[in-house]
Chains A and B, each alone.
Chain A
Amino acid sequence: MKNHVWRPLYIALCIIALVLIARMVIVPKDFGIWERGYMYGWHRKGNEADWKAVKVKYRTAAYCKDCHPDKYNDLKQSPHANIMCENCHGPALGHPEDPRTMTIDRHRELCIRCHSRLPYKASGRGAIRGIDPQTHNPELECTVCHYPHNPKREVKR
């Protein structure tokens, strides 16, 4: 048979072989079909571990308990008991080594997230005692008069 018929075929086969070799090199070993099957489980398995390795930043109130028992106990006996410390103080991450101190946010914006009165009876918001931030002592920070860790109590100075 004549050579010129086969030559393009050899070239095509070489290209296919090259693509397959490149694919073997580029595609990671753990790339394949995993638990969720052909439709949803087609991925690189190692990525699951990558996501699991992300650093935890919010450590929840149980972490603060031992070092700040006064604040912890105040808060837990107050109407604010369910608010996580880090909602108001930012993520603890490496505290107290890094950062040494945590942010103390005295802005009125922090408190009016819940306490700006909205007449929404169909939601929990309607049940929280609200104030109108425009008229309720607008020139002062809330913490001047209210103790954030237990708003039922007088502010001690």
Chain B
Amino acid sequence: MITRRSFCKKALLIAGGLAVPLSALELFDPKRLLAEKDSPEKVRWGFLVDTYKCVGCGFCVKACKTENEVPYDANVTRTWVERYVITRNGKTWIDSPKGARDGFTTRKVALGEGNFQDIKDEDIEKAFFVPKLCNQCDNPPCVQVCPVGATYQTADGVVLVDRTWCIGCGYCIMGCPYGVRFFHPVYHVAEKCNFCYHRLAKGMKTACVDACPFGARRIGNLKDPDDPVTQIIMTERVSVLKEEYGTKPQVFYLGLTKEVK
């Protein structure tokens, strides 16, 4: 005969036992925790964008789309270039037609839906171009929100997406404060810049870095103090996008202004 007391006891025990996830039974390995803290990895990829040098030719976008098989005519891209035109009356005009795949060939600023804004030369206070790409954050929010472990960070700091594992829920696309993620039009899974991981693996630079004729884009190893890119990041006045989000972006910019978001 089961008593009320023993029934309650056992029921609580079983419910409690079921609530313990299997991963909690895994013991903490102090060696691994130490390894996570000061990782022995010799490489941490970082990126440097010099907005003074960018001329808005868009060759980087063209090369990126071709190299990474992002359909050329679909209006999505892993990297893009924004134009900022700040006029004397304090207005800021921003455009990036087709992600600047075909460069900026007219002074008319695209407003979308086939509308353009003509800006007179003498009204321009300052104007410049800002290339954008995945920041490969040290605290990537897109990775944290993935419910299935399809997006992750490698030891050298690059955030990748596992196409076979992604369920296409789109959380990461919403979670990225920089808007660098999108759905791949062919595979229908999350897609993003991965610093051309296949090129880095072969000792090459990313397609956009190779395509840039003006040195506006550079990639380097942040763990190597002698790397020219690392030296600039350490010694010059660089900034990152949306620092207040605490994502610790690893794409550094020279020459940003307060208008750039």
Interface residues of A (CB under 8 A from B): 1-2, 5, 9, 16, 20, 31, 34-37, 39-44, 47-48, 50-58, 60, 80, 82-84, 86-87, 90-91, 109, 112-114, 116, 118-125, 128, 133
Contacts and interface: CB of A to CB of B under 8 A. Distances in A.
B52 interface: yes
B59 A51 contact: no
A155 to B, nearest CB: 22
A112 B105 CA distance: 6
A42 B160 CA distance: 11
A31 B59 CA distance: 38
A36 B66 contact: no
B229 interface: no
Contacts of A87: 59, 62-63, 211, 213
A114 B39 CA distance: 43
A44 B106 CA distance: 46
A54 B198 contact: yes
A48 B160 contact: yes
A119 to B, nearest CB: 5
B160 to A, nearest CB: 6
Contact of A42 (B35, B152, B211, B214): B152
Contacts of B52: 122-124
B127 A36 contact: no
Interface in B105-126: 105-107, 121, 124, 126
A31 B150 CA distance: 10
A116 B39 CA distance: 49
A59 to B, nearest CB: 9
B227 interface: no
**Interface size of B as a range:** 35 or more
A124 B53 contact: yes
B233 interface: no
Contact of A109 (B105, B165, B197): B105
Contacts of B66: 57-58, 90-91
B218 to A, nearest CB: 13
B224 interface: no
B56 interface: yes
Residue among A5, A34, A39, A120 with the highest chain B CB neighbour number at 10 A? A120
A121 B52 CA distance: 9
A123 B202 contact: no
B102 A109 contact: yes
21 contacts: A1-B1, A5-B7, A35-B39, A35-B41, A43-B151, A51-B160, A57-B207, A58-B66, A58-B210, A80-B213, A112-B105, A113-B57, A116-B104, A118-B104, A119-B124, A120-B127, A120-B128, A121-B127, A123-B128, A125-B104, A128-B55
